[in-house]
A = this chain, B = another copy of it.
Amino acid sequence: MPRTELEYPKEPYGTVKRYSPRASYALRTIHTIINTSPILHVSFNDPSPSSSPFPTILPMLGQMGSFARPSADEGDVLDLYLHGYVSSRLINISRQPSSSSTPDAPPPPPGLPVCIAASHLDGLVLALTPNAHSYNYRSAILYGHATLVSDPSERLYAMQLITDGVVPGRWAATRVPPNKGEMASTSVLKVRIATGSAKIRQGPPGDDKGDKEDGEVTGRVWTGVVPVYQVLGEPVAGPYNEVKEVPGYLGEYVRETNGMTREAAFEAAKKVVVKKGGEGE
């Protein structure tokens, strides 16, 4: 673990321009938001000449990790490993070299330029006026270059990392290692991160003084926060399940996760926020 908190460089394309007091560039904050997000949104452009003018977004699974130093924690420099059942297009494109070089510029890092977003909704912030309405949220964005992982042992490392990201300990509790056919059919993308940022909003609504001092308005408009959190329900056994009891690691994960997400949403709702200059809703 580094002694001081590492931060991503503030590149023009990756800098939070609005409500910047809510922004963070700390690796630990950003990586934690990414790693606790069950779905990541991955955006890229198809570099083929016949491509459409639109970027594409694919929902994918991913986890931050370091194959070279597996003991690295979320505050360290990490790569993002991605795996998605809908990622064949992205995977085909990322086999090709990056197409963003110009004659005089230094060659760009290999891989497909991608942008990855993770957003957690923590609450509906209901204010006196529609304009002051907001969400409590934690969002992160990463920019980097994606390449296909060819080394089988790195692929195996990433597959375990991603599976255990869904339910900790699940990998070892299943039929592993993957057989030859499974290894051959599984593609993993590794994103070398160029930069990233996070944005977090917590606390109650913040209306303008004029509305807060208008008794007619405050007397009839309820203001506050509806906490929002994701719940894991009681596990439902599948048709060919033969294990009678829900295993301990799974039951525990469900209970612990539910306790934490609920508490975090209520804490965010009640948070006392010290306003800095220039911050609006």
Contact = CB atoms under 8 A, between A and B. Distances in A.
A77 to B, nearest CB: 19
A100 B218 contact: no
Interface string A255-281: 000000010011001100000000001
Copies in the complex: 2
A238 B207 CA distance: 11
A176 B133 CA distance: 13
Contacts of A53: 98, 100, 108, 113
Classify chain A's interface size: 35 or more
Given A53-B113, A59-B117, A247-B222, A231 B230 contact: yes
A109 to B, nearest CB: 10
Interface string A225-267: 1111111111111111111001100100010000000100110
A39 B119 contact: yes
A89 interface: yes
Contacts of A124: 38, 166-167, 232
A82 interface: no
A44 B218 CA distance: 40
A80 interface: no
A205 interface: yes
A134 B85 CA distance: 8
A212 interface: yes
A52 to B, nearest CB: 4
